[in-house]
Amino acid sequence: MKMTKKKIALGVAIIVAAWAMWSVLKPAPAEAAEITMNGSVNYRIGNDENASGKDILKAEDNGSSIGVSITDDLTDSIRGFAHVEVSVDTDDSGSNPFDSKLAYAGVEGSAGKVQAGRMDSVFKSAVTSKTDVFPEYGGGASQKLFSRDSHLVQYSTSLGGITFDSQIKVDGDTGKEGVDVFETAASMPIGGANIGVATVTPRAKLDVEGLSRLKTTSSNQVNVTSSSGVVTLDLASSQVFNLTTSEDVTQFTAQNIPSDCSSFTLKVTQGASGSPFHTVDFDDVRDNGGSALTVNWPGGGLVPALTPSTNGVDIYTYKTFDGGTTWYAFVVGQNFA
């Protein structure tokens, strides 16, 4: 049976709720679970620039929340725990000012602590939560830059005063088998300070989250040829391809298409010395399994034709926003001399 994310989330919620009810209502002589309510109202007044660059003085919610924590001694040496927390938008004038923030459960013993659910990343716990950059992105604010996620499993232990936290994400969104992301951190208090270091599995060889500034860049170019009318474009090797036709091209096969937004540019040189000139079907793009991908062209879907001129150069660009299912293609220019 296929388990969807909604079914899994519902199953976890039912298990946590059932455990909480049992912890509270279980008969004597066992002790009832300890239930603690927690939360905070976080409000800020800031003089921020709007979209037009004008300074605007504004008072607004900055990450208020409310939650409940449950702990229970399952055995003499093992403690069970759960935590559910929701963000509260105190400025919301609608009917639902709440939004999911944290929801996890686990067990803790002498060997360490294991928990699963929606949690803060261990990088945030070890590093960013200790650096309160007030006001928008302080430790109590609603973090947005991959500092909190779902489908997480975490193991924590302490050794020699150092706390080690390791976390994995398993949800299949990246197309990987097994673990999608691995993150680990180590932290320790020293006097009134705290030292924390962390690392995370990058989504690419260069993975920058946030603003970056580069003085100049260059792109790798790959020369491609056709075989039986088929041209293979490996997007793991380049996003700029040079093709000089030696026959009619009837199909392009795109390999290793990135899972999110990407593009590639194709420079095609007419290789025929005279009539009949070679033709290229720029509309037939397929994945590595042979499945046809949708290609949309401007002007109502008018598919361009390769320039019928010896050594004439055409340039085309294809862009996808959904991992290659749909491509938007356009002519950069034709018949360059």
Q: What rounded mean pLDDT belongs to the chain?
A: 83
Q: What is the pLDDT of residue 155?
A: 95
* Residue indicated by tokens 């660009």: 317
Rounded-to-integer distance, Cα 31 and Cα 156, Å: 27
Rounded-to-integer distance, Cα 122 and Cα 313, Å: 52
CB 269 within 8 Å of CB 245: yes
pTM higher than 0.85? no
Mean pLDDT of 14-19: 50
Closest to 261 in 3D by CA, of 185, 173, 326, 313: 326
Rounded-to-integer distance, Cα 197 and Cα 276, Å: 65
Q: What is the pLDDT of residue 316?
A: 98
Q: Specify the range with the lowest mean pLDDT, choosing from 34-38, 75-79, 124-128.
A: 124-128
272-303 CB burial, b ≥16 within 10 A, e <16: beeeebbbbebbbbeeeeeeebebebeeeeee
Q: What is the pLDDT of residue 172?
A: 62
Q: Is 76 a residue whose pLDDT tops 80? A: yes
Residue 175: band (very low, low, confident or very high) from pLDDT cuts 50, 70, 90: low
Residue spans per domain, the chain: 5-200, 221-336
Residue 221: band (very low, low, confident or very high) from pLDDT cuts 50, 70, 90: very high
Q: Is 6 a residue whose pLDDT tops 50? A: no
Tens digits of residue pLDDT in 120-135: 888 777 776 665 544 4
Residue 7: band (very low, low, confident or very high) from pLDDT cuts 50, 70, 90: very low
Mean pLDDT of 192-209: 70
Q: What is the pLDDT of residue 130?
A: 62
Rounded-to-integer distance, Cα 254 and Cα 234, Å: 6
* Residue indicated by tokens 């040496």: 77
Q: Which two tokens stand for residue 48?
A: 């921020």
Rounded-to-integer distance, Cα 189 and Cα 196, Å: 9
Q: Is 1 a residue whose pLDDT tops 60? A: no
CATH code that applies to domain 5-200: 2.40.160.10
Rounded-to-integer distance, Cα 313 and Cα 333, Å: 8
Mean pLDDT of 331-337: 94
